[in-house]
Amino acid sequence: MSPISRRAVLGGALAVGAASALAGCSAGAGLADDGRSLRYWDLFTGGDGATMRAMLDAFRAEHPEIDLEAVTLQWGPTYYTKLAMAGAGGRAPDVAVLHLARLPGYAPAGLLDPFDPDLLAEFDLTEENFPAAVWQRAQYNGQVYAIPLDTHPYVMYYNVDVCREAGLLDADDQLIPLRGPDAVLAAFTAAKQVTGAYGLVTETYGTDGVNPWRMWWTLYRQLGGELLTPDGRDLAIDDAKALRALTFMQQLTSSGAAIREADGSGSIALFSSGQAGFMWQGDWEVTTLLASGVPFSMTRFPAVFDNASAQADGHSLVLPHRRTRSPAQARATYQLIAFLLRHSVTWAEGGHVPAYQPVARSAEYRALRPQSLYASVVEELALDPPVWFAGSASTLWLEMGAALSPVLTGRATPAEGLAAAKAAVRRLLATPNPVQ
C-alpha cells in the first residue's frame, strides 16, 4: 500500500475545515477494538437514508452483541473530505460508504485498507457473486478495496397513461423499445402532443447540475467513445463521436421534444405532476414518484446509437484506513457488510440495482416493479474513467456539467460545448490528486 501523504491533508482543498473534520473523525475513537462495537459512516441524507437506517436496525436486532454506531454525514464533497481526513489520521470508522467510481482517489493514497480474501470467502463476498465490470472496478493493485452494494444507472421514467394514449405501449402495457435517434425523438414528440406541455423533462442546467454529463457520457459511450487514454493521463476524446452525441442533445431541446431549461428539482416536479411523458434521471427517484401518485414505470435508457450503455456509478462499502484493526473487529465488520448485501432487496426498493447477485437473481427482487425492469443494464454500464477526479459528487461531473449544459439550453453550439469540455478535462489532468 502507498504511504499516506500529508501534503494534501495539511494543504489544498482538504485543509478547509480540517480541524472540524479531524474532530469528527475522532468521534468514538476510544471505542473498544474488541468486536463488540462498530462505527459506520454513510452519506444517505435523502429517502434512501431511512431505508439504510431500517437495515442497520435489523442488523442490531440480529446481532445484539454488537454495539453499532451509525453516522450520516452531508452528501457530496463534505462527506468525501471527512472520509479522506479520517483515513489519513488512521482514526477512521470501521466501515464506510464510498461511491465506487471514487475508489481511484482513495485506495492509491492509502486512505483505505484492503479486504482480507479469507474473510471475504468466509462471508461469501467473492467475485462470482458480483457483476464482472463492477468487481473489477472494486480492486486496486490486485487487492479488493470495495464491496459493491449497488449500481445506480441513468434510466428512463415514463408516464404509463400518457404513453398508452400516444400509442407507445405494447400488448403487455410496457413501453415499446425505442431504438435510434429518430424513434426516440418521435416518441417524445408524440408524448408532448398528449400532455400539451412536455415530451421529455430532464435537468438541463443548475448551479451543481451534473445531468448534462450523465446524458453526454451515456450517448458518447453508446458510440464507443473514450474520454482518456488507457493509462488515464491524456485526453482521448473522439471529436466526431462527441459531436454526434452533442448534436443529438441539442436536437432534443431545439426541436421541442425535450424541455430546454429545467433544473433537477423542476424536472422531477413536472414529471410528478403529469406534465411530461418521459424523464431522464438516476434510478433513485422511485420513492418520490411513488409518493406523488403519478402512473409511472421505468426502463433502461434507450439505445439511441450503437448499444444500450447507460451512465452509472454505485455505492460500495470500504474499510477506511485505521492504525489498528483487531481480528474480532474485522470479523464484526465483515458480518455487517455481508448482512447489508444479503438484505439488499430492501435497499433495491429505492431504485438501486443490487450488486450482490444472489439477491439480484432472486424471485423477491425480480417481483419488485418497476425497480427490477432495468436490472439488465449491469451488462452495459458506462462507468466513469478510473481516475481520481471522476465519480459521484466529483469535479469531473461538475465541470463537464457546466461545459455541456449550454448545448442543451441553446446558448452554445455542439462544437463550443465540446471545446469547453475538452478544456475542463485538460485542467483536471494537470491538477494533482489533492489526497496524494
pLDDT tens for each residue of 169-200: 999 999 999 999 999 999 999 999 999 999 99
Q: What is the CA radius of gyration of the chain?
A: 22
Last residue of a domain, one of 359, 379, 399: 379
Residue with cell 448545448: 407
Position 2 scores a pLDDT of 34
pLDDT tens for each residue of 261-282: 999 999 999 999 999 999 999 9
In a domain, 2, yes or no: no
In a domain, 321, yes or no: yes
Reported as type and span, the H/E element at residue 167 is none
Q: What is the DSSP string of 186-236?
A: HHHHHHHHHHSSEEEE-----TT--HHHHHHHHHHHHTT--SB-TTSSSB-
pLDDT at 13 over 70: no
- Asked if residue 24 and residue 167 are part of one domain, the reply reads no
How many domains are there within the chain?
A: 2
pLDDT at 18 over 50: no
Q: Residue 339 is part of which domain span?
A: 7-151+313-379
Averaged pLDDT, 335-355? 97
The dihedral sign for the CA sequence 218, 343, 115, 11: positive
> What distance in Å separates the CA atoms of residue 403 and residue 70, rounded to the nearest whole number?
38
Per-residue confidence band for 102, with pLDDT thresholds at 50, 70 and 90: very high
> What distance in Å separates the CA atoms of residue 297 and residue 313, rounded to the nearest whole number?
21
- Asked if residue 246 and residue 117 are part of one domain, the reply reads no
pLDDT tens for each residue of 34-90: 568 999 999 998 778 889 999 999 999 999 999 999 999 999 889 999 999 998 887
CATH code for the domain in which residue 193 is found? 3.40.190.10
- What is the overall mean pLDDT for the chain? 91
- Asked if residue 269 and residue 138 are part of one domain, the reply reads no
- Asked if residue 176 and residue 60 are part of one domain, the reply reads no
Residue with cell 482521448: 236
In a domain, 434, yes or no: no
Q: Of 205-209, 276-280, 376-380, 386-390, give the lowest mean pLDDT range.
A: 205-209
In a domain, 435, yes or no: no
- Asked if residue 339 and residue 272 are part of one domain, the reply reads no
Let me know: does 161 contact 152? Beta carbons within 8 Å.
no
Per-residue confidence band for 408, with pLDDT thresholds at 50, 70 and 90: very high
pLDDT at 30 over 70: no
| Model confidence, pTM | 0.91
Position 33 scores a pLDDT of 57
- Asked if residue 270 and residue 419 are part of one domain, the reply reads yes
- Asked if residue 393 and residue 367 are part of one domain, the reply reads no
- Asked if residue 156 and residue 146 are part of one domain, the reply reads no
> What distance in Å separates the CA atoms of residue 146 and residue 169, rounded to the nearest whole number?
40
In a domain, 1, yes or no: no
- Asked if residue 273 and residue 226 are part of one domain, the reply reads yes
With H, G, I as helix, E, B as strand and everything else as coil, classify residue 354.
Answer: strand
Q: Of 33-42, 197-206, 357-366, give the lowest mean pLDDT range.
A: 33-42
- Asked if residue 169 and residue 134 are part of one domain, the reply reads no
pLDDT at 15 over 80: no
- Asked if residue 346 and residue 327 are part of one domain, the reply reads yes
In a domain, 207, yes or no: yes
In a domain, 436, yes or no: no
> What distance in Å separates the CA atoms of residue 346 and residue 55, rounded to the nearest whole number?
8
Last residue of a domain, one of 379, 400, 418: 379
In a domain, 138, yes or no: yes
- Asked if residue 398 and residue 276 are part of one domain, the reply reads yes
